[in-house]
Amino acid sequence: MKKFLVSVILFSVILVGLVALLSANYAKSAEGNFVSAIRLKHERLNSFKGPRVMFAGGSNVAYGIDSREIEDSIKLPVTNLAIHAGLGLDFMLSELKHSARKGDYIFLSPEYYLDEGRYKLDEEAADSYPEAKQYLKRLAINDFPIFVDGVIEQMKTNKDVLFDKISRKIFGAKKETTIASITSFNEYGDVVAHLNRPAPATIKDKKAFEYRYWDGIQKINALAQYAKENGIHLYFVFPTYSRNAYTINKAVIKRYQHDLATNLQIPVINAPEDFVYDDSEYYDTVYHLRKNARELRTQKLISIIKPYTM
């Protein structure tokens, strides 16, 4: 029996060590990875006195607006806090709660059915910006699937990095310049590195939704109560979405819209179809706008938010 227990313990130690080795982040570069841009965004945000405008959400916002143009139009300092949907709604809402102050304007535009995100990605952001440790959700035992999901995603990334290194070493393949870098953002927090690049042949994430009541509504309402008590102006904005993906999911999105209109305790200031563009206007996913549609969205967004910031 004792020998058996020793074997089990030894196997467990080896297994845990192997998982830790495989799931460590080997994709970090000297110039900084994508989520490390959180530090620069907050440095900008914290540099302003008086009311500020914040845009928040996933990469649909990071890739899809011209913050400088918005700032010039509404005459208030603008910071694009959005980075990646993988950070999750909980992280984003906590970030806004810890960052906003009286008089600020927040325009929240999450991707459809945005969920809790990937915990390891949240930790990576906190490594770059220690204040973000406050935004991390404390994992309970029932959150174990979230942790496992993060480990699996990191393993996939490590696999891609390894294959890239092997192909360059053996076959002399050239390394592609990645968008997933801190250098992809401009001073306002917008991703701009993709604007003059040719789009890939296909765009990703074109999937069919199954309707469910989104638990994000309750989470946003909690922030809404905090905002109301502290003089913060909070608004919901539907994200951009490719036309083909919107057509596939139109019926579900209409029910999602009805749930928001009925239960969300902040103003919903646009409609889902407002920022729907042809698939050719998207860079690599159904949420990442190219240059032309980014400008169209920015102009329409200005007309939508301007009455709320005057």
Mean of pLDDT values over 81-108: 97
Instruction: Flag whether pLDDT at 5 surpasses 90.
Output: no
Cα–Cα nearest to 192, from 30, 302, 71, 65: 65
Instruction: Flag whether pLDDT at 305 surpasses 50.
Output: yes
- pTM over 0.85? The answer is no
Q: Which of 100-109, 150-159, 284-293 has the lowest mean pLDDT?
A: 150-159
Instruction: Flag whether pLDDT at 29 surpasses 50.
Output: no
CATH number assigned to the domain with residue range 28-308, chosen from the 4 options 3.20.20.70, 3.40.190.10, 3.40.50.2300, 3.40.50.1110? 3.40.50.1110
Express each pLDDT in 225-266 by its tens digit: 999 999 999 999 999 999 999 999 999 999 999 999 999 999
What is the reported pLDDT for 30? Answer: 30
Express each pLDDT in 158-212 by its tens digit: 554 565 556 556 765 555 556 778 999 999 999 999 999 988 888 998 999 999 9
Mean of pLDDT values over 210-215: 98
pLDDT, averaged across the chain: 86
